[in-house]
Amino acid sequence: MTESNDTPIQTEEGDERQHRRIKSFVMRAGRMTEGQQRGLDQGAPKFVLPLADAPVDYDQVFGRCAPRSLEIGFGMGHSLLEMAAAAPEQDFIGVEVHRPGVGALLNGVLTQGLTNLRVYDCDAIEVLNRCIADNSLDRLMLFFPDPWHKSRHHKRRIVQASFAELVRSKLKVGGILHMATDWEPYAEYMLEVMNVAPGYRNLAEDGKCVPRPAERPITKFERRGERLGHGVWDLKFEKQS
């Protein structure tokens, strides 16, 4: 996945001849700033969770029972940090493999003294399959995933029927899958996938996209795009069963 205003982290499918499964990322190297390194050195022992072999008791992790959201591919973490700071009564879990991005988020967590955010620095599909209990999430967020523009690469997109079903299994009834993209053809593709995914209801009045929800922060990239006339499309689907 890629958050367009941040460092790209893409969905990867392995060599077709080997029929490897889709992953939620492509590992990319990046230079580390002093603040990002501080975040990793001081924040990782406190806030980075290991990949588990059984569903995790997040009430125990956070020390409370609270509404819980998970974001896949938070990039440099600006939006996730802002959401967590704005909603201290909620808990947030972020998944990201780009080390500078993880460090940046953790540095922000330390600087702001947040306690309602935890991080996984591994494949999001593995996290969903191994760590997240069924019917446990209130919201899953997927903001600005890599659209894989070329038709022959569409199979590499993270948004697939199998992904929709996996997410549905992890959401509570009434839980929300919230996706956003800055590429209209990908928004149309997401709608095609989700409109036939069982157990979901599109929350858009016109059956397409919703206005930008207030809880999703506007990024610098998005503001710049708006000045240039670029659009952003938000999709919200509620789990019904």
Residues of the binding site for S-adenosyl-L-methionine = 71, 96, 123, 146
Round to whole Å and give the CA distance between 176 and 191: 15
**Tokens 């523009």, located at residue:** 149
Query: Residue 178 class from Cβ within 10 Å (0-12 exposed, 13-18 middle, 19+ buried)?
Result: buried
123 vs 130, 143, 222, CA distance in Å?
11, 16, 26
Residues of the binding site = 71, 96, 123, 146, 150, 182, 219-222
Q: Which residues pair with 158 in a beta bridge?
A: none
Cβ-based neighbours of 37, under 8 Å, separated by 6 or more: 103
Residue type, 14: G
Round to whole Å and give the CA distance between 209 and 234: 6
HSE-CB for 51 with a 13 A CA cutoff: 13
121 classed as catalytic: no
Round to whole Å and give the CA distance between 210 and 33: 37
Q: Which residues pair with 210 in a beta bridge?
A: 234
Residues of the binding site for substrate = 150, 182, 219-222
Q: Residue 161 has what DSSP assignment?
A: H
Catalytic residue among 6, 91, 121, 146: 146
Q: Which residues are annotated as catalytic?
A: 146
